[in-house]
A and B are shown apart, each in its own frame.
Chain A
């Protein structure tokens, strides 16, 4: 729920356990307390998507057992081991930091990672404003982190279980060629299109592909999106790494993002999520400012985490 700085500070003073997203300047001014935060000025909220440096998105987490932590690229592999056996973890990573790259490329190999519930997001900036730095904040110490991951591990009482899921409005086009890669990474020169080695930038240009649409990776039946960041000197840069061994396809185009989200969220019924975030690319390409998606509100982010780093996806977590 969107709140003013003063309202947010009052909740911190009440010792509430909070997840806070907002502009870097406001986050840095908040008092220390039981909260974790990350920078963004884009929000999906009741009443419509909003861009603002004046408000904070505040999520109250009604849980009694929790611990805060910060991780660098050397300690990140311990993140799942540190999580409660029954619970979930919210992690926030600064965009374009070493921990962002490390997590994106290695998370699926961390010990016991899929035995814990890990959600989170990549903190960003206002794309129209100069001089901002993406930060993750560990509220218990008041540290604004530019090169570390802020984590909040939450334990659940017996009889409760966390469930992580995604809403992906993109589906692989069954007529798409299969695109594969020989190595993993955020930057790619060549790929294989239906098995034939191809310069990806040339393929995109020759086929006049819309780079606002992600590649949809086939994760054993689940579609996982990877979005194009830019193309420079024949190299295609992505917002998340592509992986060797995963088959990617072009998606069916989306006529209307709002309709697509309404349809997908509507199919879920009454989802009582405790955390949700959605992608900045969906917000920008889908024109979501002022549009109400009908639920699953939260920060608009520069990458979403449901165990692994995803793009152009809504991630949510609920307690059963």
Chain B
């Protein structure tokens, strides 16, 4: 259950309403969007990916649906 940088970028750039079920992911994503917007460099994107993967991995039991929604983004 790991995101790639490309999947993270799709999530960070997503303009609609994310269909996430876990509040911690909503909040973390909001913070990461702010960080990436202020410095949209590849290193920042990789750091965002690492942060999201740490969250998804630790709470895999309750974040499976959120992970599947993220990887379904076109």
Chain A residues close to B by CB (< 8 Å): 108-109, 114-115, 117, 161, 163-166, 218-222, 224, 244-246, 306-308, 320
Contact = CB atoms under 8 A, between A and B. Distances in A.
B62 A114 contact: no
> B27, B37, B61: which has the most chain A beta carbons within 10 Å?
B27
A114 B61 contact: no
Contacts of A218: 17
Given A164-B23, A306-B23, A320-B61, A114 B28 contact: yes
Contact of B62 (A115, A163, A221, A246): A163
Interface of B: 17-20, 22-31, 33-34, 37, 54-55, 58-59, 61-62
B62 A161 contact: yes
Given A114-B25, A220-B30, A221-B26, 14 more contacts: A114-B24, A115-B55, A161-B62, A163-B62, A164-B23, A164-B24, A219-B26, A219-B30, A220-B26, A221-B17, A221-B18, A222-B26, A224-B27, A245-B33
A165 B27 CA distance: 12
A168 to B, nearest CB: 10
A232 to B, nearest CB: 30
> A222, A306, A308, A320: which has the most chain B beta carbons within 10 Å?
A222
A115 B58 contact: yes
The 3 closest A-B pairs by CB, nearest first: A222-B26, A221-B18, A220-B29
B3 to A, nearest CB: 15
A114 B34 contact: no
Chain B binding surface, main DSSP class: helix
Nearest to A246: B30
A216 to B, nearest CB: 13
B33 A166 contact: no
30 contacts: A108-B27, A109-B31, A114-B24, A114-B27, A114-B28, A115-B54, A115-B58, A161-B59, A161-B61, A161-B62, A163-B22, A163-B62, A218-B17, A219-B26, A219-B29, A219-B30, A220-B20, A220-B25, A220-B27, A220-B29, A221-B18, A221-B20, A222-B20, A244-B34, A245-B37, A306-B23, A307-B23, A307-B24, A307-B27, A308-B27
Nearest to B29: A220
A40 B23 CA distance: 26
Contacts of B29: 219-220
A47 to B, nearest CB: 29
A311 to B, nearest CB: 15
Given A165-B23, A166-B23, A222-B27, A320 B58 contact: no
A153 B28 CA distance: 21
A157 to B, nearest CB: 14
Nearest to A86: B58
Contacts of A246: 30
Contacts of B61: 161, 320
Contacts of B31: 108-109
A245 B17 CA distance: 15
> A108, A114, A218, A245: which has the most chain B beta carbons within 10 Å?
A114
A141 to B, nearest CB: 31
Contacts of A220: 18, 20, 25-27, 29-30, 33
A320 B61 CA distance: 9
